[in-house]
Structure 1
Amino acid sequence: MNQERRDRLRDAALAVLAEAGGRGLTHRAVDAAAQVPAGTAKNYFPSRDALLRGVAERCLEQYRAVAAALAGAGPGPSDRAGLAALIAALLRDVAGPGRARVLAYLELQTEATRRPWLAAQLDPIAAGDFAAHRSLLAGAGLPAGPEQVRALTLALHGAVPHLLAGAPETLAAAGLDDLDGFARGLLARVCPDEGTA
């Protein structure tokens, strides 16, 4: 099997899923997006489940690449302000360069509600966020107990769909129209300063 072509098809499937949603993910659409002869995607991914599995693999690979890039950038933030800046930057990535990856992931999560095998395949992504946020909180000198980690992770996970949808009134109501302010406010609620607790 040609791994380069398989990767090209997985990238195309991810793009189709992000742009057209679960209903738009077909072998024909993937062939067109990858600019390969008709039937190529079916040869590599014989069923729709195989296609979903391939996109999930690609999402996990991309998630790990982002995590590795963050780890390779040196020590994480060492204080509250640095962590807030990092959270805001990660949210900007979700709305910008990482948008297709995150949209595809959310579409896969919807599909996973009906496919337990897909939920298991995606589990390392969300589970990895909890571990990463624990490490970031601790590195910034903030409380990193289970309650703080859950609150931070679930708040960010809840913010992402609104950020991607981009509805102005919702963004303003959620504070997502000011990502720096949102990140600072979130950390203030999750890990209040001793003087304001």
Structure 2
Amino acid sequence: MARNPERRTVLLDAAIEALAHEGARGLTFRAVDARAGVPTGTSSNYFTDRDQLLSQVADRIFVRLAPPPGAIDAALLPAPGKELVGELMRWMVRRLSAERTCYLGLFELRLEAVRRPELRTQLTKVLRSDLDLNIRIHLDAGMPGDADTVRLLYFALTGLLFDHFTVPDLHGDQDLDELVGTVVARLVPES
């Protein structure tokens, strides 16, 4: 198996593109090679099978979606409160919107996980870890609400972004900032 980490990253990013644009059924070694601009057969030198490719794509998506080092600490500098929760939610929406392809790829992986128990196990572990981290950060920062507040914000944000990326006209004339403001106003208690 090939060991060039830069080439592996290029292939994984190409796989994310393929997932986002063609769906899980369109994620083939040939499609990844074509999107990466490498000779046909290159991907098969890096990934033993499609399951390994899907698994490593999942890992790469979470690397790309992670905020830069120190960004969370900086974002938490203002005094905790409902207003800061709203600002943080909007910040997250902007970050995830900037990585639209990754987020669409993650949706495709979630759908594929319905049919692949190993992928479902891996995604569940990573998503649960991320949600638990968000709950810890929220509570440790003294933000209003409890763990259920964070879970509800997570579910609302996930659904909002899913609709935004797939059927944006569903929102009518409301922009994302307004919708996030409504979610925070309704779900986050006063300090």
Written as runs of structure 1 = structure 2, the 5 A alignment for 1:3-42 is 3-42=5-44
Written as runs of structure 1 = structure 2, the 5 A alignment for 1:153-164 is 153-164=154-165
The alignment partner of 1:51 has SS state of helix
Q: How many residues align?
A: 187
What is the aligned counterpart of 1:82 among 81, 84, 91?
Answer: 84
Structure 1 stretches of at least 4 aligned residues deviating more than 3 Å after TM superposition: none
1:71 aligns with 2:77: no
The offset of 1:137, in angstroms, is 6.0
* Structure 2 residue ranges without an equivalent (≥5): none
Corresponding residue for residue 175 of structure 2: 178
**Cα deviation per residue 1:81-109 (whole Å; 9 max; x = unaligned)?**
222122123223333x2101101111111
TM-score (norm 2): 0.85
Corresponding residue for residue 123 of structure 2: 122
The one-letter amino acid of 1:119's match is: R
Q: Residues 76 and 139 of structure 1 are in contact (CA less than 8 Å); yes or no, is this contact kept in structure 2?
A: no
Q: Residues 80 and 140 of structure 1 are in contact (CA less than 8 Å); yes or no, is this contact kept in structure 2?
A: no
Q: Distance in 1 between matches of 2:179 and 2:26?
A: 34
Corresponding residue for residue 58 of structure 2: 56
- Measured on the aligned residues, the alpha-carbon RMSD in Å equals 2.3
The one-letter amino acid of 1:178's match is: D
**Cα deviation per residue 1:149-193 (whole Å; 9 max; x = unaligned)?**
22211111221210111431x113xx8x32222222212221233
Q: Distance in 2 between matches of 1:72 and 1:186?
A: 23
* Structure 1 residue ranges without an equivalent (≥5): none
